[in-house]
Amino acid sequence: MFDLLPMAPPDSILGLGEAFKKDPNPKKINLSVGVYKDEQGQTPILASVKEAERRILESEKSKGYLSIEGLADYGREVQNLLFGADHEIAVAKRAVTAQTPGGTGSLRVAADFLRKHFANSTVWCSKPTWANHQAIFQAAGLAVGSYAYIDAAGQGLDFAAMMESLEKVPAGDVVLLHACCHNPTGIDPTPEQWKEIADLVDRRKLLPLVDFAYQGFGDGLTEDATGLRELARPGRELLVCSSFSKNFGLYSERVGALTVVAGSADAAERALSQVRISIRVNYSNPPQHGAAVVATVLGDPALRQQWEDELTAMRSRIKSMRTLFVATMKKLAPQKDFSFIERQRGMFSFSGLTNMQVDELRTKYAVYVVGNGGRINVAGMTPSNMAPMCEAIAAVL
């Protein structure tokens, strides 16, 4: 039966990571996969995470199954991070949270839930968006559309075009919004623009699905939730897909959450009962370890402070690499203005490199960048790889 199977193409981003691993060039530089690297080029385990793991190892008494929606403490902490303490949503018990395997797991559970109960809704994604978005919703059987996002120069938000295309989305459809640190562009709406987006979503009766994979990587934990909190108006419904892969460095532990905000506590409980069904037929119940780590860190004031400091250090390092990149390129290729990179947020930016330049970077200089816009992972830059990397980019321009 399997002899006739066609070979599937490698994943556009993870496939590059595999090619990077196999590249024998000792000077190779990986700016493709979305993983944070420290100054030494390592993806560290945070000290707050290590301490939480030590405590869990000592106190853990059972490996019994979790409930379908996972750890209750974790769900509470996730909601606190999203909306802040004592938010109307929490007081009214309008939100329910299910622990999921990573942000991807949460997107897939959301997709299955939407497909089952709102099969005629189309999911509208920004153009461009994270490559997996479209694939996840289509795999669940939903139609996917796109709305305008990036400007013609590829350096900023074309807000007028974005609003114009969202205006055309039919009532009851789903609009996927990146809460912060838009992947792949690094371009986010301003707080004033978020307000206009929330007004439009309200007026047009659209369902926002907020993908929150980088809380704390933009301007801060609270600042990065500005758009989400604007959407979370009294009585309004929304879905939030959280990932703690990046801000806790828990990539391999698969820690995420799906939060459904309904109009009332009763509707929220009914939504959760349906989300449980989607989970049960998918992976039954979530893995414990990563979510226990997050709940332990967030539930202990000292550990939480330590984590916030570590998160601030990651964010500051990325920002300093943006500044250094712009300064270095200014020296090496003054004819091209890269200053927009400094205005963007999070791990990624669209460099504007053409597919030919991206290919040449890989084949001639072993510098790995994602094609179709030249997405670069700024968090893969270090003070020591900056000069050779910028020299390679200057050479292919």
Residue among 173, 188, 211, 224 flagged as catalytic: 211
The least distance separating ligand PLP from the CB of residue 108, rounded to whole angstroms, comes to 9
Tell me the pairing of strands 256-261 and 348-350: unpaired
Closer to ligand PLP at the Cβ: 243 or 288? Answer: 243
- Integer Cα distance of 48 and 304 in angstroms: 8
Cα 392 to Cα 30, 386, 397, distances in angstroms:
13, 10, 9
Is 130 a known active-site residue? yes
- Residues of this chain that interact with ligand PLP (CB under 6 A) are 34, 102-104, 130, 178, 183, 211, 213, 243, 245, 256
Question: Which residue number, 214 or 365, has a Cβ lying nearer to ligand PLP?
Answer: 214
CB of 212 vs ligand PLP, minimal distance in Å: 8
Alpha-helical runs (H) found in the chain: 14-22, 47-59, 72-83, 88-91, 102-117, 131-139, 159-167, 191-204, 226-231, 265-280, 289-299, 301-332, 340-343, 355-365, 383-396
Q: Which of 173, 188, 246, 307 is catalytic?
A: 246
Q: What span, in angstroms and rounded, lies between the C-alpha atoms of 207 and 173?
A: 6
Q: Are 241 and 211 spatial neighbours (Cβ–Cβ below 8 Å)?
A: yes
CA distance 114 to 146: 17
Q: Active-site residue 211, yes or no? A: yes
Burial (CB count <10 Å: 0-12, 13-18, 19+), residue 65 = exposed
- The amino acid at residue 161 is A
CA distances from 171 to 122, 176, 297 (A): 10, 14, 40
Least Å from the CB of residue 7 to ligand PLP? 25
Catalytic residue among 130, 188, 194, 307: 130
Element (H, E) at 348: strand 348-350
Give 122's strand partners: 143
> Of 102 and 365, which CB lies nearer to ligand PLP in the complex structure?
102
For ligand PLP, the closer of residues 112 and 211 by Cβ is 211
In the bound state with ligand PLP, the residue whose beta carbon lies nearer, of 100 and 357, is 100
Catalytic residue positions?
130, 211, 246
